[in-house]
Chains A and B, each alone.
Chain A
C-alpha cells in the first residue's frame, strides 16, 4: 500500500508552453502533498506544500505564478509549469502523506517527472 504515481514520467515541450504534471495517491487519502525539484547531482529542493482544499505554501524563491499547484481532492495534486523556459528543465518529484496508511506521518514519493524544455 501507500503508492504514489506521477504522470507523465517524461515530457518534452517547446519554450513558452505550459505543462501539467499530476500526482496521485492510489490507495490512501493524501491530506498533504509536497512538490520537489531535483537538478542533476543535486539535492531534492522543496518547492511547495499543499493541503487539500487550500492554497499551496511556496518556499522562498519559488514563483507561485509560474508553478501553479492545485490540490483539489484527497488523491490528486497537479503542478503546472506555465510559460516554460529551458531553465525550468528538471526532475520534478511529488510526495504525499495522510490517512489510510499504516504510517500516516510518513511521506510517500512518486517516481518523478523529467521535464525538458526546448
Chain B
C-alpha cells in the first residue's frame, strides 16, 4: 500500500544547528510529496512540496529534494531558530498535484532551544 515513514521525535536542537528530518515513502504510483508544519495551537500549514523526481521544494530556509531512487524526501535546514519549534509532517498524494487524499507520516516534533 501507500505509506509515509518519518523519523520519530522529539528532536531537540540548539539555535543555529543543522536540521534533518528523514522521510521515506512507499507508493503504488507516482506521488507528489509535501512537508507540513504545525505550530502550537494552530492548524497544519503547507511548508513545501515537490511533484516530480529531482524537484527541490524550498520555503523559509527549509529544503527537501524528491529522490525517486531512494524513495525519500528528507527535510533540511541549515540553521534553525527557536521559532521553528513545531511538529513537522511528511505527506504524499497520488492524485497528481491536486492535494486530494493526503497520506501523512506520524509527525516529528522539533524543539529548538536558545
Contacts and interface: CB of A to CB of B under 8 A. Distances in A.
B99 A109 contact: no
Q: Bin chain A's interface residue count.
A: 20 to 34
Interface residues of B, number: 20
A106 B99 contact: yes
A31 to B, nearest CB: 12
Contact of B101 (A46, A109, A111, A112): A46
Contacts of A109: 36, 43-45
A44 B89 contact: yes
A90 interface: no
B41 interface: yes
Given A107-B46, A107-B102, A112-B43, 14 more contacts: A42-B106, A43-B4, A43-B103, A43-B107, A44-B102, A46-B101, A46-B102, A46-B103, A93-B43, A95-B44, A105-B99, A109-B43, A111-B41, A111-B42
Interface of A: 4, 6, 32, 34, 41-44, 46, 49, 93, 95, 97, 105-112
